[in-house]
Amino acid sequence: MPRLLKSAPGLPPAAQNDISDTVQVMLARVRLGREDAARDYAERLDHWTGPVVTPPEAIAEARAQVPDALKQALGYAHDNIRRFADCQRASVSDFETELRPGLIAGQRSIPVNAAGAYVPGGRYAHIASALMTIATAKAAGVPHVTAAAPPRDAGGIHPATLYAMHLAGADTILTLGGVQGIAAMAYGLFGTPPCDILTGPGNAYVAEAKRQLFGPVGIDTVAGPTDLMILADATADPALVALDLAGQAEHGPTSPVWLVTDHEPLARRVRELMPETCARLGPDNGATARAAWEAMGEIILCSDREEMAVEADRYAPEHLHLHCTALDWWQGRLTAYGSLFLGAQTTVAFGDKASGPNHVLPTGGAARYTGGLSAQKFLKTVTYQRADPQALPDLARATAVISRAEGMIGHALSAEARLTTFPHLLRA
C-alpha cells in the first residue's frame, strides 16, 4: 500500500455559493444591459474607461514595446503550437461508406463559426495562453475568433499579451476581464458574433461564468487550480525534482503538486530541499510556491513502479512528469493525464510556454475522462445518411419492427410509408 511521507492539509473551503450567485447576477445584467453593462463592470472592477474593442494603433504600439528577443521566442512558440494544431486537424478525416447496398452514411468535421478565447491577467501576464487558445482555433478553421483580456493598467492589455493575441490571429480583441469579458464573447457584444465555444483559463469567477453558460455555448473545460504530479525513481535528481515541483507551485497557493516515488531516500531529500528551492523563486513567487507546497503538496511512497502507476491513474493529474528510466514502459502503462512529460530533460514549463501541445488541460481529476484543448475541440463531427432504393425494403422493415417493439407507432408508419410512397423506385 502507498504511504504518505508528506500529506496535504489543504485550504479552507472556498465560498463557492457566493461566487456562483455573483456570477449569475453579472451574466444576467450583461445579457440584458449588453454593452452598457459590460462597460460599467469594466470601469468599476478594472478601472477601464478606454475603448473595449482594441484599435489597430494600440496593437502597433504594443508591438513597438515588445523586445525583439521576446518576439522571437513568441514566434518560435507560435510556430510549434500552430504546427501541432495543424496536425491535430489533419488527423480528423471526413469519410463516406456504403454500409449495405444502397445505404450510404458519412461523417464531416465542420469548424464552429465563432470561438471566444479568454486570456487571463492578474498577477502574471499569461502571454502563452493567448497562443494556445487563439492559434489552435484558427488552425481548426474557425472563421472568427474573439479574444478578451483584462487591462493591466491605464494603458490597457499587457503589451506582450496583446502582441501575442494579434500574432495568433485574433479577429477581434476586447479589453474586458472577468465575467464581463466571458459574457461579451458569449452574447456577441461590441460587434462580434456570439461565440459557439468559450476557451481559456481564468480565475474562479471566469470558470464559474463558463460553467453557467455551458449548454447553449460550448466550453473547453471547467478549470480548477493547475496541478502537477512527478513520478520519480532512484535515478532522479532530487534538486531537479524539487525545482520542478516549486516551479509549478508558483501558479498559486491552491495548486497541488505531488511526488510519487518508490525510492525513500529521494523522497526524504526532496522534502528537505523544498523550502530553500521555493526561496530561489524570489520573495513573492517563493512565498506563493511555499504556501502551495505546505497546504497542497504531497509525497507518496510506493513499493514499485506498478504501484506508482496505479496512483498516477487514480489522481489523473493535469501534468504528469516522469523523472524515470524505461520511459516506453511508462508511456504504455499510464492512462489518465492531461499531458505527459517524458524524461527529466522535458520540463512541464516547456509545455506551458513553447513546445507545441496545448497547455489548456483538464484539472481536478478530469483527465480520467477527457484530454486538453485541441483543434478537435473547435470542430463539430456531424453525420449524414442516404437510403437508395435497394436499401429500402430491409431498412424500412427493421426500423418498423424495432419501433413497434418500443411502442413508437409513428416511427413504424413513417418507415413503412417509404415502401408504399416510392414503389416505382423499388421496381426500378
Q: Which residues of 1-27 are buried (b: 16+ CB within 10 A; e: fewer)?
A: eeeebbebeeeeeeeeeebeeebeebb
Q: Please classify residue 230 by burial: count the beta carbons closer than 10 Å to its beta carbon, then call 0-12 exposed, 13-18 middle and 19+ buried.
A: buried
Torsion 157-159-164-167 (CA) sign: positive
Residues in Cβ contact with 233 at an 8 Å cutoff, skipping those fewer than 6 apart: 261, 262, 263, 266, 305, 323, 324, 325
Active site residue 319: yes
Which three cell numbers, joined as nine digits, stand for 89?
486537424
DSSP-assigned beta bridge partners for residue 342:
322
Cβ contact 211:224 at 8 Å: no
Q: Which of 197, 180, 79, 214 is nearest to 146 (CA)?
A: 197
DSSP-assigned beta bridge partners for residue 104:
98, 386
> Which H or E element spans position 100?
strand 95-100
Q: Where on the phi/psi map is residue 323: left (φ > 0), alpha (ψ -120 to 50), or beta? A: beta
Active site residue 47: no
Cβ contact 257:245 at 8 Å: yes
The active-site residue, picked from 319, 321, 323, 359, is: 319
> Which H or E element spans position 322?
strand 319-323
**In sequence order, what DSSP letters do the residues of 267-291 get, joined into one string?**
HHHHHHHHHHHHHTT-HHHHHHHHH
CA angle centred on 416, ends 412 and 422, rounded to 5°: 150
CA 163 to chain centre: 21
The active-site residue, picked from 78, 158, 251, 318, is: 318
- The total number of residues shown for the chain amounts to 428
The number of beta carbons lying within 10 Å of the beta carbon of residue 198 is 27
Cβ contact 375:140 at 8 Å: yes
Q: In what order do the strands lie in the sheet with 95-100?
A: 95-100, 103-111, 379-387
DSSP state of 113: S
Residues annotated catalytic, as ranges: 318-319
